[in-house]
Structure 1
Amino acid sequence: MPTNGLMSMIELDRRAVRASLDAFATWQPGSDDPGTPCAGWQLGDLVAHMTIQQQGFARAVAGERTERADWAPTRHNDPVGVYRSACDQVVTAFAGLSDPTTPVLLPEVGPDPLPLSTAVGFHLVDNVVHAWDVARSLGARPSLDDDVVEAARTVARDVPDGERRDRPGAAFAHRLPLPDGVSALDETLQLLGRDPRWHPAHA
């Protein structure tokens, strides 16, 4: 990926991060902790996971070597406030990066560093899917720009649907069947094992 392509992807990623934060707009964590499309997770669990992911990616693209234990989520008293700070942290870390071949170590993915261009793609997909997770948990739809979703779909099509998805704690379940005429967002979700028809039990 050329430098200008990387910078474009980073801008798309920034908007995906913003959408993931905006999805929490109506949540009142002190009184509501709904279920999510992530099996076994309440929304409080999901935001804790999303927070450590943003912090972990920020550390990784800065060249810091982390261990899997560093990515363990923790619930906070002000979950959305802490998540907002984590979003600012990762957006700042990504801004100005220009070499797509820069090695980035993501211990949750594997023991070998990945090129920065690949890491940005993974981060983009993660934020698009989690924006949907959060919005659906609250009975809404995420506010995602079309070009952001299209970029996520392109990356999702290349994510292997292998035995890695069977492992405990895997980021994604196996692909779901793709009907004809599916939207870009729904295709992205189904490629990553999410059912676009999911809705909260209380809805």
Structure 2
Amino acid sequence: MPIDELRILDAIVTRASLDLVTKITPADLTKPTPCSAWTLHGLLAHMATQHHGFAAAAEGETDLGHWRLLPLGDDPVETYRASVKRVLNAFVPHDLADRKFALPEFSTEITFTAEQALGFHFVDYLVHSWDVAKTLGLPLEFQREVLDAGLRFAESIPDGKNRKTPGAAFAPAVDEKGPSDLDTIVALLGRSPSWSRHEAVLA
């Protein structure tokens, strides 16, 4: 996919995640999320940290320290907003397509093209937007172009035993169909489309 198209799609899902995050109240931060290891606070910290990690990679940084979990501080929403601003600005330079990305959380042995890195970031925040929306009980819709690209990326990610290793980016695919393409995407990437925050609390 052309880098300029990827930039646009990535910005759409990243801004969608921010729109959802701005609706978070302090009481929401302890809620369970579709990412079973995290409350909303933990998920938000992960999302902010990953923005900074990808931004650092776009800027030529290779140190794994840029991917260490960052505290959200006294104002988690503003902390997240700052991380979104940083990563979107980092993806703007006209020569981005010529850069190699060191993504030590994905591999310490190889670097990635800008197209690969933006693809990773795009699909990650497409799914994380869904995570936040589900946690808050809010609707989430995306344009046809976003869903088509999301399906292509989700279908291209191998669904093997590597998804069961600690720290894997996605859990094994879920054999569960939902009514929308977004449901299909999240199922392919290990989420249950029918996940309910109420059932998670009871569990």
Per the TM superposition, whether the score is higher than 0.5 is yes
- With over 3 angstroms needed to count, the CA separation of the structure-2 counterparts of 1:170 and 1:97, relative to structure 1, is farther
Alpha-carbon distance in 2 for matches of 1:132, 1:14 = 15
The alpha carbon displacement at 1:32 in A equals 4.6
Q: CA deviation at 1:149?
A: 2.2
SS across alignment from 1:150: helix
For residues 73 and 182 of structure 1, what CA distance do their matches in structure 2 show?
35
1-structure distance, mates of 2:99, 2:28? 43
Q: How does 1:108-127 map to 2 (within 5 A)?
A: 108-111=105-108, 112-127=110-125
Structure 1 unaligned segments of length 5 or more: list them: none
Matched, 1:48 2:49: no
User: Aligned partners of 1:163 and 1:109: how far apart in 2?
Assistant: 16
> Aligned pair in 2 of structure 1 residues 98, 142: CA closer, same or farther (>3 Å)?
farther
Corresponding residue for residue 39 of structure 1: 36
SS at match of 1:100: helix
Distance 1:183 1:80 in 2: 29
> Of 153, 175, 178, which residue of structure 2 is paired with 1:177?
175
1:133 aligns with 2:131: yes
Kept in 2: contact 1:100–1:117 (CA 8 A): yes
Whether the 8 Å contact between 2:155 and 2:188 is mirrored in structure 1 is yes
Find the counterpart in structure 2 of residue 160 from structure 1.
158
Match of 1:70 in 2: 66
Q: Give TM-score, length-normalised by structure 1.
A: 0.90
C-alpha RMSD over aligned residues: 2.0
Gaps of 5+ in 2: none
Q: Percent identity?
A: 37
Match of 2:183 among 169, 173, 186: 186
Displacement of 1:28: 0.7
CA contact (8 A) 1:6 1:98 kept: no
Counterpart-to-counterpart distance in 1, 2:185 and 2:14: 16
Query: How far, CA to CA, are the matches of 2:194 and 2:42 in structure 1?
Result: 22
| 27 and 8 in structure 1: CA distance in 2 versus 1, 3 angstrom threshold | same
Distance across 2 between alignment mates of 1:26 and 1:124: 21
Q: Deviations over 1:100-139 (max 9, x none)?
A: 3521111111121011101101100011000000010011
* Amino acid across the alignment from 2:59: A
What is the aligned counterpart of 2:104 among 104, 107, 113? 107
Q: Is the alpha carbon distance of 1:70 and 1:98 closer, same or farther for their aligned partners in structure 2, counting shifts above 3 Å?
A: closer
Give the residue type in structure 1 aligned to 2:182: L
Distance 1:156 1:97, change over 3 A: farther
TM-score by length of 2: 0.90
Secondary structure in 1 matching 2:97: coil
Does structure 1 retain, via aligned residues, the 8 Å contact 2:28–2:136? no
Q: Does residue 22 of the first structure (1) align with residue 8 of the second (2)?
A: no
Match of residue 96 from structure 1: 93
**What are the Cα deviations for residues 166-199 of structure 1, in whole angstroms up to 9, with x where unaligned?**
11121210012254x8522111101100111101
Shift of 1:162: 1.9
Equivalent position amino acid for 1:22 in 2: D
Query: Which structure is higher in helix share?
Result: 2
Name 1:58's counterpart in structure 2.
55
The 1:62/1:32 distance shift into structure 2, 3 A limit, reads closer
